[in-house]
Amino acid sequence: MERIPVYEPSLSGNVSAYVNECLSTGWISSRGSFIARFEEAFASFTGAPAATSVANGTVAIHLALAALNLGPGDEVIVPSFTYVASVNTILQTGANPVFVDSLEATLQVDPDAVRRAITPRTRAVMAVHLYGHPCDMDALVGICEEHGLLLVEDCAEAFGTYWKGRHVGTFGDAATFSFFGNKTITTGEGGMVLARDPEVLRRCRHLKSQGLSAEREYWHDALAYNYRMTNIQAAIGLAQIERAQELLAAKAGLAARYRELLAGLPLRTHDAVGDVTHSHWMCSIILNDAEDRSPLRAHLDRAGIDTRPFFPQVHLMPHLHTELDLPVGRRLSERGINLPSYPTLAAEQVEHICASVRQFWS
């Protein structure tokens, strides 16, 4: 059996036809019909009023924070158990991240910890929907409304994720998505920003395009960025979103198969908790004993199976280091493994992966 990667994109459907249309017409840069078509299709899928595309998921977060006028002196509450881009972008605005712990059951930010972290300088809370499971949006929306705080949703890993029947990204003042090559729908690189207030989305469009004035040619009226998506990226994205339900169904089936074949081992799968739809961007296992993780990953590597460890806590990284002890996130970070999670994974490959995991404990 060939080596099994953690992820590979599924690029069937209209990808080739749409990309070739870009090439044949010459619309390969940040102008072209596919950009608006992809934005409209994405907004429709998520239930958002509108969306604006960007070059990648990291600049999506930075753009959203900038459009919300977050800056020096502001505090943004964020889980430490997340990918570093969630936090680097806070720093890039000049604001200060305030780290909080996560919940064992869901892996998501702990709303009680968020409430305890609020100070007079708090301006925003960032909800990161980690590995495809939603945060507790009822609690977070309630906290932000009570204290007059902005709510930003980092949905980089949560396309197809729902909280009580509502797609994530539609709860906050702004929300961001990633379309990196290992995401459920991909454009190679790329991202999207949603916003509740049309004025915030207008600022996003203005800032992502070098602050270009709408009234005067080549006149730039703000310090801004070049964060635009290309027409080729959008063409790929449109073809991908046409297949979104197919891809999400395949990933749900994959997660269910892992759950079935790994039952009874000293681990748990990352399953949906409550009235939610878990999109299973990554099919994850959380081991009972952290000391098993490195030997298990080495065992799977010898069997030709690639894996990823859970993210390390961001507040321990050199440029962000604090002396905080956030024990739930620490234990999760030490015990988690992402297994191969792509929608075209064959049944025999899944059986090989699960048999190899079982063999480790046999």
What 3-state class would DSSP assign to 356? helix
Residue 183 designated active-site: yes
Contacts of 356 (CB under 8 A, 6+ apart): 299, 300, 303, 305
- Name the phi and psi angles at 275, rounded to 5: -85, 70
- Helix, strand, or coil (residue 22): helix
Q: Which candidate, 110, 195, 188, 127, places its Cα nearest to that of 161?
A: 127
**Angle separating helix axes 231-242 and 33-46, nearest 10 degrees:** 40
Distance (Å, whole) CA 124 – CA 291: 37
In angstroms, the CA 221 to CA 214 distance is 10
Amino acid at 329: G
Nearest to 123 by CA among 141, 96, 157: 96
Q: Check 164, 183, 208, 251 and give the catalytic one.
A: 183
Task: Give the position of tokens 């604001």.
Answer: 95
Instruction: Please spell the DSSP secondary structure of 83-146, one letter per residue.
Output: -THHHHHHHHTT-EEEEE-B-TTT-SB-HHHHHHH--TTEEEEEEE-GGGPPP-HHHHHHHHHH
- What span, in angstroms and rounded, lies between the C-alpha atoms of 34 and 21? 10
Query: What is each CA distance from 298 to 185, 291, 305, 360, in whole angstroms?
Result: 29, 12, 9, 10
- Token output for 260: 């079935």
CA distance 81 to 165: 25
| Rounded-to-integer distance, Cα 69 and Cα 56, Å | 20
Between β-strands 75-79 and 122-128, what pairing exists: parallel, antiparallel or unpaired? parallel
Catalytic residues: 183
